[in-house]
A and B are shown apart, each in its own frame.
Chain A
Amino acid sequence: MFEWLSENRAIVAAVLIIVMFGLFVWSIVVGRKQAKLKANDEVFGDPVRTKGGWYWAVTGVTALMLVWFYYSWGMARAYFPNAANEMCQIAKLEEAVSPIKAALPIGSRYYKSTLLASRNSDQLEELLVQLPATVFTDGEKTELQDLIIQIRALIANSSNPENLNQQSKDELVGLSQRLNELSSFLEAGPGDMTPSAEALAQPRWGTTFTEIPILPITSKGMLFDAASVEAAEIAGTFNKVRNRVPENGRLIEDIKERIEAIKETNASGSFDEQVTADREDYVKAVERIFKRLDDGLIFPAAALADVNSAIAELDDASHAAQGGLTTADALLFPGPGIVKSKTQCTEQGSARWLPKPTDVVATFMRLANPDVEDGGGYRGFPLLWWDWLPVSNVVAFFVPDWIADAWPGEYASHGPDGTITPNFKDKLLAFAQGDVNLGHVPMLDGHIWDSLFRVLVALALGIFLGVPLGLFMGVSRFFKSFFDPLIELYRPVPPLAWAPLILTIFGIQDDGKIFLLFMVAFAIMVISARTGASGVQLTKIRASHSLGATDRQIMWNVILPNALPEILTGIRIAVGVCWGTLVAAEMLAGTTGVGFIENIARTVSDYELIWVTILIMGVLGLIFDLIMRWIIQKTIPWRGMG
């Protein structure tokens, strides 16, 4: 069942989206009707106006889900399950054509030739101005100035259409023709192209760690895939075309020789060090510009115009061949679309970091599978399951070893025959260390339970120690004044600031985290219990004194129940803060827990897993709070009624 759902998550999402859209519209209709009904009974500011209104909750949740589906491209996948694969093929074509486009105005505003000509001319002009007068002789200066003029002539010669030789001309015409043929090929449509069996066997969009299957699975995809192969070849040819002007051939040889001559003079060693360096630098600068111009990369602008328009035509043809896909792309794929890198096609924009809701559920289900052997759980540890816990471990946790040490007598030593007969003291030590078989009890297990366990133990300790102290601080000058500075000194420090210290002292296992959380819960419980205790009405205290209650009885029967609303509110706050602190602490150190999973997911940029952990934390926090609200409602209905 789950397997099927997981395989067909696009269909599941399609149904869900329709249902949610229906609910969204329906809840707005209901909400508006209800609002109209109640408008007469309530004035603005009446607290009753916040009661009820579940339909707006439906509106909010469905709206959020729809936005999530939209920006994660979940909607796109639901209704156009093949679109991503086709867009991947189109991206392949784009990638193949991009080297040609980069040299033409259609891809980068200017011809590459224009940029080369203007940039190098500017630099030659600068060199002329900067010619160092002191290090060169007059003769050399004239020679260098002439050299620069000659190099400039190279640019002029290349830019003149009349100088373009026949071979280059033919090559460029050939390229335009091939591009036009490619356009016709796209315009002709896929015909009877059928995707290969290998392509069809690929996992579907988003069902594996590779986001988008790269081989074309539709005939339209096949068309673009084939076009991209041809386009890559055309681009290869385009890159090899050179503008070999015959006049420049001679000029280049001449310039080369003259530069060599000056370099030889430089290397002759007849100048002092500084002068040699200056001369060499200048000649090197001239030679660098020359080297950029001797490979025939500058074409006359007119010669490339045909290729430019052929590419524009190809773009049009590609656009036409995409058909309805362009609309789908514009409507349902927010962000820059799909990009093909060397080995894979990836989603860009919001879909990159926002996984689809159905994928998040699928990942959660994979993690929630308790069968670790079957790929469930995370890092060989289930999410939430149970296991047999040896009772002796629990005993060992509570019974310290020194009890055995303190027992009178000595531990047994080995006898003359090399055997050891354990005495009672030995057995006591084994008991304290958990080395005895006391049977097993079923116990919850897994990442979530580990996190929960830490919070619950810390909370329990915080309540059982913090509440009594808080109550005493609320009634006693000594307790208040003695403990107040101690607690107020450590409390304002953010728990995470304590974390490095606590984790060093207590270790990265449960002890350290529990102590850290205990510190958090303890302070909150002390303060809330104290506030509750000191807020008891004096008349109630006096009444109970007059009714013959002892101090102890007053504490237990009057002050504690009176402080209960504050204490429960304190627990509610402490649960929230502990939960937040715990996850952060688990991210700092540890080998289990929800925060641990997120930390690992972060290092490998597994966004789905990150979102799963975020959702687990959110849902668990919500459950905690709902339980606390329920408890508060059940246990202190008198709150605010005194």
Chain B
Amino acid sequence: MADLVCEHLNMTFTNPQTGAAVEALKDINFNLKKGELLSVLGPSGCGKTTLLNVIAGFINATGGCAKLGDQVIDAPGVERGMVFQQGALFEWLPVSKNVDFGLRMKKNNAAENAKLVEKWLDIVGLQGFGDTPTYQLSGGMQQRVALARCLINDPEVILMDEPLGALDALTREKMQSLVLELWKETGKTIMIITHSVEEALLLGERLFVMAPRPGRVHKEYRLPFAERGLKESLREIKHDPYFSEVREEILTMIWDMEEEIMGRV
């Protein structure tokens, strides 16, 4: 296990027709220690998904580099698991085959796989759903399958791209608890992209607020709520005065950024 490091990361997209360059990311530097939980927040177009895609290895940065330990990231890898907004499950496979997909690609022993699937379905609360087709599951359950599919591969870092964005409020709260539980139990490094300020505060041990044009880290917080969330009810934390204070501060920050964009356009 190693730290996730970004050094002077730059990402410039060039429009192939006009040749105009857009600085999606500019000089991103951070060091995410093993076991830290980072949430990234920002208005639309601030480059948070681009940052995640670079770290996942789906696209290559135009400058600087992202490293996991000593290894420079230049391609997708098993050590960096992904969870997408819509689950991105393979609908032609039942739940168990979705969960052990990574293991099967590694040509693991089938009996061992079955045991692991059992274990992980248990952890995410989907006991007995192994043979169910994924399209028969609710959105929350699909996201649990996606989590199990990612975790069964035992990645070093888990990257989540708005994983709870499409869920209803109640399911969302349950899933937030689950994410915190999994973080606690597995001790994985987790990076979550989110649109929701509350979610970013609740889940982010560290929190980056990103700003657009060029995409950069505007402000960084270190917050106690994720630790507290392991013991306390999430709803109580939301009533904490400090929570409210930070939430208002960030909302104002993002609001101003949006205003700025609108003004410029």
Contact = CB atoms under 8 A, between A and B. Distances in A.
B86 to A, nearest CB: 7
Chain A interface size band reads 20 to 34
CB-based closest 4 A-B pairs: A641-B135, A545-B76, A547-B102, A539-B88
B88 A540 contact: yes
A590 B81 CA distance: 61
B58 A542 contact: yes
Interface of B: 56-58, 76-78, 80-82, 84-86, 88, 90-93, 101-102, 105-106, 133, 135, 146, 149-150, 153
A550 interface: yes
A542 B88 CA distance: 9
Contacts of A537: 88
Nearest to B93: A561
A561 B106 contact: no
Contacts of A545: 57-58, 76
Interface string A542-555: 11111111100100
Interface in A148-203: none
Given A642-B91, A642-B135, 5 more contacts: A546-B150, A547-B149, A547-B153, A558-B90, A637-B133
B73 to A, nearest CB: 12
Given A539-B88, A637-B133, A641-B135, A553 B105 contact: yes
B135 A638 contact: yes
Contacts of B146: 543
A389 B41 CA distance: 73
B90 A561 contact: yes
B195 to A, nearest CB: 17
A450 B263 CA distance: 74
Given A540-B90, A638-B92, A641-B91, A547 B56 contact: no
Contacts of B93: 561
Contact of B78 (A539, A546, A564): A546
A545 B102 CA distance: 9
Contacts of B88: 537, 539-540, 542-543
B136 to A, nearest CB: 8
A641 B90 CA distance: 10
Given A557-B105, A637-B133, A546 B92 contact: no
Contacts of A642: 91, 135
Interface string A524-543: 00000000000001011011
A113 interface: no
A638 B78 contact: no
A562 B106 contact: no
A558 B102 CA distance: 12
Interface of A: 537, 539-540, 542-550, 553, 557-558, 561-562, 564, 636-638, 641-642
A638 B91 contact: yes
A184 B90 CA distance: 91
B92 A562 contact: yes
Nearest to A543: B88
Contacts of B135: 638, 641-642
B84 A547 contact: no
A540 B92 CA distance: 12
A542 B92 contact: no
A340 B21 CA distance: 90
A638 B76 CA distance: 28
A290 to B, nearest CB: 94
A426 to B, nearest CB: 50
B51 to A, nearest CB: 15
A547 B101 contact: yes
B78 A548 contact: yes
5 contacts: A542-B56, A543-B82, A548-B105, A550-B105, A641-B133
A544 B106 CA distance: 12
A561 B102 CA distance: 17
B56 A546 contact: yes
Contacts of B106: 548
Q: From A543, A641, A642, name the one whose CB has the most chain B CB atoms within 10 angstroms.
A: A543
A548 B56 CA distance: 12
A544 to B, nearest CB: 7
B125 to A, nearest CB: 21
A642 B150 CA distance: 19
A637 B91 CA distance: 9
Given A537-B88, A539-B86, A548 B58 contact: no
Given A539-B84, A641-B135, A642-B135, A546 B76 contact: yes
A547 B78 CA distance: 5
B239 to A, nearest CB: 36
Nearest to B102: A547
A547 B105 contact: yes
A548 B90 CA distance: 15
A564 B92 CA distance: 10
A359 to B, nearest CB: 50
Nearest to B76: A545
Contacts of A546: 56, 76-78, 80-82, 150
A562 B89 CA distance: 11
